[in-house]
Amino acid sequence: MSAIRVMLDCMELNRVRTLATLDDIAKQSNSAAVLGWRPGPGRAHIGWQLTHIGITEELTATERMHGAAPMYPDLVPRFKFGSVPDDDIPSLDLIRQVLTDSRKHVHECFTKLSDSDLETIPAWYKERGWDIRRILQILCWHEGHHQGQAHITLNLWKAAQSKS
């Protein structure tokens, strides 16, 4: 099995966990309030964490790897790296769609490559020095990182509800 296939398979496990968190939120009586809940002032809400996963993948698979325009151009500035979470909370359906579309694009982007491409540094990543291998490693880590943040924030929300 190729290294690219292994990393894409790891990404699928991460997505299963992300979607399980989204499914848990959907079971709550007011999922919109859960998605907008913040663990503290100025902190990212759950909806930002989950949408950020998808937008980061979308940007990677389109703009950063191929110079192509990403889907969801209205969401990119709100959810890309360095953005400040606003109070316009994305819906469960929108988050799920962004995660689905962006993963499709990541899969299409990287399955066209072979292990002989792993040391290639795409133009957008030259300054960072990231080759294809590192980009895939970062994508694998990135989703787990933000899914974990969303998951702990959901648990904090549940704890706050049990106190009220």
Q: Which CATH number fits domain 3-163: 2.60.120.620, 1.10.760.10, 1.20.120.450, 1.10.1740.10?
A: 1.20.120.450
Burial class (CB in 10 A: 0-12, 13-18, 19+), 103: buried
Count Cα atoms within 13 angstroms, Cβ side, for 8: 20
Chain-wide mean pLDDT for the chain? 96
Domain boundaries, the chain: 3-163
Whether 124 and 64 have beta carbons less than 8 Å apart is answered as: yes
Stated pTM of the model: 0.96
pLDDT of residue 1: 82
- At 152, the pLDDT band (50, 70, 90 cuts) reads very high
DSSP string spanning 68-108?
Answer: PPPS-TTTHHHHSTTPPP-S-PPPHHHHHHHHHHHHHHHHH
Please state the rounded mean pLDDT for residues 91-107: 98
- At 37, the pLDDT band (50, 70, 90 cuts) reads very high
- Calculate what percentage of the chain has a pLDDT beyond 70: 99
pLDDT tens for 47-70 read: 999 999 999 999 999 999 999 999
- At 138, the pLDDT band (50, 70, 90 cuts) reads very high
Q: Is the pLDDT of residue 164 over 90?
A: no
pLDDT of residue 162: 86
Q: Where are the alpha helices (DSSP H) in the chain?
A: 3-26, 31-35, 46-59, 65-66, 76-79, 92-111, 132-163
Q: Is the pLDDT of residue 29 over 90?
A: yes
Q: Is the pLDDT of residue 97 over 90?
A: yes
Burial class (CB in 10 A: 0-12, 13-18, 19+), 17: middle
pLDDT tens for 75-90 read: 999 999 999 999 999 9
